[in-house]
């Protein structure tokens, strides 16, 4: 697979890169191992100062990094600015909190003293996606580096300049050479990397097939993995909900990142008594969205990241139509101009037992379902192979508690949009993956939780 920057708004190939050779990968692995032996001895205070410097660099050059993200994968410039700021936030969060999260924990036992110690593992491989090209990396790198590990990044092949920029940021911040290295490699070079004894664990955010492949290789080599995979998150609206607030947030959640987000609200599940009104509100808000140049402040939705993503999304929409779905707005690619543009699309009258109802649409396409009551809403929400997040809207406390208890997902947001937050663990269940990123649990995924017993 080519490693290249192709502007999704124009189709222009901006830059190409050669994949590292086997010898070059070996040299980087050797450097990572060598660096780790010294880096693991550094103090939390030293790592914290470097990570805070990285945050300062992100803030200082946010316009440059935002423009680079927009160039490589098409997200709107305004959302890219927000992404850079969030990366600075996660750096400062772990710079401040890592020592507390990894402090020794005394446990009462039959010993004179017993406690848990949290020690780094070594070199951790991160296989990261293109949709949030800075955020996905920094939410791995910040806790991993603060824990005393070193990182290797295999980024998506369509965002190579973002990948290289992140390594430069961390080097400029003061992290030693080899503490975090970007590997411009193809997908078929990952297996040997995971199998190498110097790589102690791996994390992947991406598709189910990619996650299954990585987990298989890691399993054969008895290595820890954390996987954050696909999602088809429900957005449940019950009859006590503030419909205007719910509809406004529904648009924000579904259209986030041009619709290319694992935790986007992809299935609107609405109680029948308010379905007509909610549909009317949604349709009005869909019609008001502006599709266009992602660098423009007036644009709500930019292009999809690649031509193949747009083609796959359209194939899903056309299949849904063939299976009986009705299109309330959108439904066909925008072909009047260059670029991978697809309009905001709202599908309804979808057979709940059809394959379409089980799928993830990775673009600005929403499915709208009507259900009679709360129990039916929960049943439909869980009737998918995924379990990443869920948003539910109701003012009734008893309904809120039942939703929290019964929805099968790694996160449930009541009267709010599903989002990642450095303070809160993030991850899924079922085919959405396992393990957690962020929060206290995130930094403890890639450490040796060591039991110490002393008499």
**Phi, psi values for residue 337, rounded to 5°:** -140, 165
Helix (H, G, I), strand (E, B) or coil at 151: strand
Residue 455 CB-half CA count within 13 A: 3
Distance of CA 39 to the CA centre of its chain: 28
Q: How far apart are CA 278 and CA 275, in angstroms?
A: 5
Neighbour-count burial of 43, counting CB atoms closer than 10 A to its CB (0-12 exposed, 13-18 middle, 19+ buried): exposed
Residue 212 contacts by C-beta under 8 Å, 6 or more apart in sequence? none
Q: Is 228 a catalytic residue?
A: yes
Q: Is 336 a catalytic residue?
A: no
Q: In sequence order, what are the beta bridge partners of 402?
A: none
The 10 Å Cβ neighbour count of residue 27 is: 12
Contact 202, 223 (CB under 8 A): yes
Q: Which of 83, 167, 228, 359 does the annotation list as catalytic? A: 228
| Antiparallel, parallel or unpaired: β 105-106 and 113-120 | antiparallel
Total length of the chain: 455
| Antiparallel, parallel or unpaired: β 224-228 and 411-414 | unpaired
Edge-to-edge order in the sheet of strand 411-414? 326-329, 345-348, 365-371, 265-271, 233-237, 389-393, 411-414
Q: How far apart are CA 108 and CA 92, in angstroms?
A: 33
Q: How far apart are CA 312 and CA 295, in angstroms?
A: 25
226: closest CA among 409, 387, 433, 420? 433
Q: Which residue has tokens 């996987």? A: 227
Q: Which of 87, 91, 162, 262 does the annotation list as catalytic? A: 262
What residues act catalytically?
228, 262
């Amino acid at each position: 697979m080519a490693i290249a920057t192709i502007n999704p708004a124009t189709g222009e190939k901006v830059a190409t890169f050669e994949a590292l050779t086997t010898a070059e990968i070996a040299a980087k692995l050797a450097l990572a191992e060598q660096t780790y032996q010294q880096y693991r001895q550094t103090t939390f205070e030293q790592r914290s100062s470097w990570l805070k410097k990285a945050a300062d660099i992100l803030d200082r050059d946010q316009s440059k990094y935002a423009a680079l993200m927009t160039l490589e994968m098409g997200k709107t410039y305004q959302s890219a600015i927000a992404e850079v700021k969030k990366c600075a936030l996660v750096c400062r969060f772990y710079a401040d909190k890592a020592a507390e999260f990894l402090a020794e924990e005394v446990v009462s036992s039959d010993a004179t003293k017993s406690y848990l110690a949290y020690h780094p593992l070594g070199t951790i491989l991160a296989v990261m996606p293109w949709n949030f090209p800075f955020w996905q990396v920094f939410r791995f790198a910040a806790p991993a580096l603060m824990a005393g590990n070193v990182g290797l990044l295999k980024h998506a092949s369509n965002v190579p300049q973002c990948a290289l920029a992140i390594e430069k940021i961390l080097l400029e911040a003061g992290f030693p050479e080899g503490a975090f290295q970007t590997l411009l490699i193809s997908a078929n070079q990952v297996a040997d990397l995971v199998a190498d004894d110097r790589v102690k664990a791996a994390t992947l955010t991406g598709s189910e097939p990619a996650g299954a492949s990585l987990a298989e290789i890691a399993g054969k080599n008895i290595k820890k993995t954390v996987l954050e995979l696909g999602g088809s998150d429900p957005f449940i609206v019950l009859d006590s909900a503030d419909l205007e607030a719910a509809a406004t947030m529904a648009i924000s959640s579904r259209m986030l990142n041009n619709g290319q987000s694992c935790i986007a609200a992809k299935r609107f599940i609405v109680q029948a008594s308010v379905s007509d009104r909610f549909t009317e509100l949604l349709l009005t808000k869909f019609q008001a969205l502006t599709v266009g140049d992602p660098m423009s402040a007036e644009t709500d939705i930019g292009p999809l990241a690649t031509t193949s993503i747009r083609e796959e999304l359209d194939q899903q929409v056309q299949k849904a139509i063939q299976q009986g779905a009705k299109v309330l707005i959108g439904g066909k690619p925008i072909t009047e101009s260059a670029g991978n543009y697809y309009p905001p699309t709202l599908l309804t009258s979808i057979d709940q037992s059809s394959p379409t109802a089980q799928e993830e649409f990775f673009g600005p396409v929403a499915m709208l379902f009507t259900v009679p009551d709360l129990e039916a809403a929960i049943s439909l929400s869980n009737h998918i192979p995924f379990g990443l997040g869920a948003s539910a809207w109701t003012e009734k406390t008893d309904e809120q508690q039942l939703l929290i208890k019964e929805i099968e997902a790694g996160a449930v947001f009541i009267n709010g949009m599903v989002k990642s937050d450095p303070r809160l663990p993030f991850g899924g269940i079922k085919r959405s993956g396992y393990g957690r990123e962020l929060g206290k649990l995130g930094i403890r995924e890639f450490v040796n939780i060591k039991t110490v017993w002393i008499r």
